[in-house]
Structure 1
């Protein structure tokens, strides 16, 4: 990946390029930001620029053998470590190397990845992913070797917060005193979950949030999405490009209609309709199920903004804006907080493979209480 392919982040790009040009490359850096942001793409572009055999003023050439290998994720001096879980293929002590073929196919689609998508890709949705102490031993062994083709040997460690304590402690020494010309590029979404001893050994690079305008531009220019649809998706994705891709796969208007129907049934306390909707909800894919709850979270936010009198900050239009106006009539600060809590819990339970029927009906019962506080 080249820097020019990354959305925004201009200041960070310039800092990284200048660090290489001035030969001030930190041996351990941590790119961090929210899921669906630019952290992984920056790490990949940085690694490619370091390996590039014909560096340009502000980017890798993209044409030399090293760049081509980096783009295919097969450069011998570029390795990856990431959370894994047991599968039918690997039933004991899985490590990243066991899934390298799947990883290249997964990351090759786009760098705005999520853990849930990765686990689904390797058929391990119901498993708990982690980076084990066995993986740390592989890291130490692998990085003890000299670079094969490039000046530097680079390890990209995705989601280091999934290292258990033993695994994290095992790499402390090599992280602080690596072999010459060895670079660690950590890519994190929740750095506050890391051990303080890890954080103290890396140079943090915080990525900037991706704006709605940047998401819309990416969708229209790279995926040829129509302006109106790109605007809607960008608003709902809220800076998460991975979420934007999923919204494009699922029909956005269908989500809106389903959420409106759901809220009306909850407001009317129509249990017959809710049971019918529960059966329909169970037939949706997991992404569509989570998408409905995420859509609800966004609608609640916009309704609360509208109710507080900040109409110009509402990021919706058309029938969605009309619904927000009406929905805000039953929302107060207190019950909006309850809605947020219940919808977030619903996503949490779905991600841990709870029964969709139970999750939807239980959430519906709680929402009935939240939006009908005077009629409990």
Structure 2
């Protein structure tokens, strides 16, 4: 993983590189930021740079043996600790042995396939939906043992802990001393979207590196440059992703150019209270997978946002394409007041929340449609 392979965020890369050059790099770094930001990628890029045999001014060389091994995540001086299924303390499981799975090998594959993946993606990747994840005390002891060994290549040893919020109290406490006073040239990289869930004793021993979300332009440019979608589709996806590259990837697979047109037709059916069309939409919605359902609702939320901006004459903040703006303008001019927009916005957000929690989507969508119809058709108050 190279810094150049991460879209955008030039100021974050520069700050990290400057810390290395000025020898201001702390021995324990907390890479934190919103979901879908390149937290893990930044940590891996830094590890690659530190291991590189011929580092350049702005990045690792990418061609030396160390860089090649880091590209496959098999460098012997970069180790990983990750949440895996098991009891809170594996050594206290009453002697029962769980099936041995090489989750580190699985993690290497996972990172290659889902560089912006979250814990849910990790769970599905390993088919461990019904198992409790944690980083156990036994894993903490393994970390200490690993770091007690000398570096294979004489440089830095890096211990990357992905999702350290899964450290339970005993495992976190076991690591406190080595995090505070690690062996020479040993670095801890903690990568998380939830720093608020870490123990204060862990947080206080780290240097925080905030990894911001992507901008709309960075997402759009990346999607087009990597040929994941057309420019027209990228223009629609970027604002819906809201800085989350993971969400952008899902939307690429699930979102069609017709999504805004679908919302237009759905809103029209709700306004005219066309029962047959509404139930047809309900059937189609229920037959779509979860990510597709979420992308439709996100498109609806984005349409309402655009209507509100149009009504407020805040032209510079609009993200909709030229082809959709006539529909958006008419929706705001003839149907929706600001009060109605906010009510509909709340309903769509709640529906998105319930989809995440496995609601019956057909019942939910039918109810949502009739609630939207009630709002649209209500007489506006003066």
TM-score interval (norm. to shorter): 0.7 to 0.9
Is the 1:37–1:112 Cα contact (8 Å) retained in structure 2?
A: yes
Task: Report deviation, 1:167.
Answer: 4.3
The alignment yields a C-alpha RMSD, in angstroms, of 3.0
Q: Match for residue 360 of structure 2?
A: 355
Matched, 1:293 2:297: yes
Provide the rounded CA distance (Å) in 2 between the counterparts of 1:141 and 1:342.
52
Q: Match for residue 75 of structure 1?
A: 75
Task: Report deviation, 1:222.
Answer: 2.4
Provide the rounded CA distance (Å) in 2 between the counterparts of 1:165 and 1:314.
47
Q: Deviations over 1:73-97 (max 9, x none)?
A: 11122122334457xxxxx998997
Provide the rounded CA distance (Å) in 2 between the counterparts of 1:128 and 1:328.
47
* Secondary structure of 1:31 counterpart: strand
Matched, 1:99 2:103: yes
Matched, 1:61 2:61: yes
Matched, 1:367 2:372: yes
Is the 1:53–1:64 Cα contact (8 Å) retained in structure 2?
A: yes
Is the 1:84–1:96 Cα contact (8 Å) retained in structure 2?
A: no
Instruction: State which structure, 1 or 2, has the greater radius of gyration over its C-alpha atoms.
Output: 2
Q: Deviations over 1:8-57 (max 9, x none)?
A: 22222223223223333211111222222222221110010011122222
Provide the rounded CA distance (Å) in 2 between the counterparts of 1:173 and 1:259.
55
* 1:96-135 superposed matches below 5 A: 98-109=102-113, 111-125=115-129, 129-135=133-139
Compute the TM-score of the two structures, normalised by the length of structure 2: 0.84
Aligned match for 1:277, one of 266, 281, 294 = 281
Matched, 1:145 2:149: yes
* Secondary structure of 1:204 counterpart: strand
TM-aligned CA distance change 1:320 to 1:166, over 3 Å? farther
Is the 2:235–2:321 Cα contact (8 Å) retained in structure 1?
A: no
Matched, 1:321 2:325: yes
Task: Report deviation, 1:67.
Answer: 0.8
* Secondary structure of 2:76 counterpart: coil
Task: Report deviation, 1:5.
Answer: 1.8
Task: Report deviation, 1:369.
Answer: 4.3
Greater CA drift, 326-335 or 348-357: 326-335
Compute the TM-score of the two structures, normalised by the length of structure 1: 0.86
Is the 2:32–2:193 Cα contact (8 Å) retained in structure 1?
A: yes
Task: Report deviation, 1:281.
Answer: 1.6
Task: Report deviation, 1:124.
Answer: 3.9
Aligned match for 2:237, one of 233, 236, 240 = 233
Aligned match for 1:340, one of 339, 345, 348 = 345
* 1:193-232 superposed matches below 5 A: 193-223=197-227, 225-232=229-236
Number of positions where the alignment pairs a residue of Structure 1 with one of Structure 2: 370
TM-aligned CA distance change 1:274 to 1:9, over 3 Å? same
Task: Report deviation, 1:147.
Answer: 2.5
Q: Deviations over 1:210-243 (max 9, x none)?
A: 2222222222222274333332322332322222
Is the 1:85–1:128 Cα contact (8 Å) retained in structure 2?
A: yes
TM-aligned CA distance change 1:258 to 1:170, over 3 Å? farther
Is the 1:126–1:352 Cα contact (8 Å) retained in structure 2?
A: no
Task: Report deviation, 1:170.
Answer: 4.1
* Secondary structure of 1:183 counterpart: strand
